[in-house]
Structure 1
Amino acid sequence: MPISPTALAQLPIRRLDSTDLLACADLSENRGWPREEHKWGLLLAAGTGYGIDSPDGEGLLACCVVTSYGPDLAAIGMVLVDRRHARQGVGRRLMRHVVEQAGDTPLTLHATPNGQPLYEGLGFTEIGRAEMVKGRFSATVPAPGITVRPATAEDLQDVLRLDHEIFGLDRTALITR
């Protein structure tokens, strides 16, 4: 049964925690995204999740996660609205809340084509593009003679140094998770 825009606007936005992991993964599936419970676990532990509970009591109506890198940058990710309530202002309301909570901290995000108009309407501007490629890797030429090994605890300082050099901010809290 459709929910009126007035009723949607009155649903509370709450902080999510690790107990919401399955509901977040369910919402991912609802939107045709991979379930990725491991990713949700990491993001909910390392960032701040926000959500709106579905009025029918079955999971989340909407959610997102904000990962802070200190006062210089925070990244918004995993913005999802249940397909039954898409294009009804729920995502805009959730994003306005997130922007308000961020205060003066600059925000970044990666937009899907579906979300780009929403973000642009909130003042975000495109500064670059990212492309995701999915499929099964099949080498057609011999692999280069580079030795690869799993990272160990002894590699942490080198990993953090390299990440800081490339990303430009300290992401120790996220990487160590």
Structure 2
Amino acid sequence: MPATITFDTLTDAHLDGALRLSQAVSWPHRREDWHLFLRLSRGVVALAGGKVVGTAQATPFGDVAMVNMIIVDAQMRSRGLGRQLMTRAMAGVDVPEWRLTATVEGLPLYEKLGFVATGSVLQHQGVPVRQAVPDGVDWAGDTDLAAIQVLDQQATGADRSSLIARLMHEARLVVIRKGPDLAGYACLRRFGRGDLVGPVVAEDSAMAQRLISFLMARSTAGFLRVDTTEEAGLAPWLMGQGLAAAGGGVSMRRGAATVPATSVQCFALAAQALG
């Protein structure tokens, strides 16, 4: 007899079960990574006999929201559980635009729910070659927080102030200044197997490379990951720095597109779950 499925709000009490699900599909997320996402999001969990068998989260960023961490236990698939999880997670967040990063396996479901492909996410990782520390890059301070939040929204069209505030205190941020203003910023934090560089927001690819090179030189984890996009054009340079291509995903959107400002661009994601 099939197990009865119940749904509940995803809380810290479910994170061990959620971590088991992500490990089963070879995602590198640590429990700490799940915890960060959960603090920014509204999550839904599917339970069978008290066991976590599915998850989905919706992360609101102003007029944009990300739907993410959509995982269904292998033994519970082909029952429409993924669709139910997504629908329940998204129901609690009212925004004009939804975004997600899709796996190949998830594409059919997301297309049925009205999402359309908008680009490619490219994952690069490995042990970077030794870097010279570039000039003109400074560690960010608390007084830079508001300017970084504005710069990020100009690049992404999403109000990720809550994410940037957490990264300011839980990660390490660097900036490039133009007089009294900020022209670019980047973040280095622990994630998965080592360190992750992202977000990276800059005026052009040369500036993005300076920011990333600085953080490569400062990373002590050995293993480094950068999630970029095909549109950003950084992939050849990242491979030249020792970060091999390691798959990726498909950027998707549902609803009216939010048009970012054009003075800066997002060259690397905060995470595939967060854009």
Structure 1 length-normalised TM: 0.81
Residues 1:112 and 1:153: Cα distance change in structure 2 (over 3 Å): same
Confirm whether residue 21 of structure 1 aligns to residue 15 of structure 2: yes
Q: Secondary structure at the match of 1:126?
A: strand
Residues 1:159 and 1:104: Cα distance change in structure 2 (over 3 Å): closer
Which structure 1 segments of 5+ residues have no match? none
The answer (yes or no) to whether the contact 1:63–1:79 under 8 Å persists in 2 is: yes
Aligned identity (percent) is 30
The answer (yes or no) to whether the contact 1:21–1:44 under 8 Å persists in 2 is: no
1:168 corresponds in structure 2 to 157
> How many residues were matched structurally?
166
1:154, CA displacement in angstroms? Answer: 2.4
1:62, CA displacement in angstroms? Answer: 0.4
1:106 corresponds in structure 2 to 97
1:56 corresponds in structure 2 to 49
Structure that is richer in strand per residue: 2
Q: Secondary structure at the match of 1:102?
A: coil
Query: Residues 77-156 of structure 1: matches in 2 within 5 Å?
Result: 77-103=68-94, 105-139=96-130, 143=132, 145-156=134-145
1:13, CA displacement in angstroms? Answer: 2.0
Structure that is richer in helix per residue: 1
1:86, CA displacement in angstroms? Answer: 2.6
Confirm whether residue 65 of structure 1 aligns to residue 66 of structure 2: no
Counterpart CA distance in 1 for 2:17 and 2:77 is 17
Counterpart CA distance in 2 for 1:118 and 1:126 is 13
RMSD of aligned C-alpha atoms?
A: 2.2
Deviations 1:104-151 (A, max 9, x none): 542111101111111011111111221112322224xx6463354543
Structure 2 length-normalised TM: 0.55
Counterpart CA distance in 2 for 1:102 and 1:148 is 37
The answer (yes or no) to whether the contact 1:47–1:66 under 8 Å persists in 2 is: yes
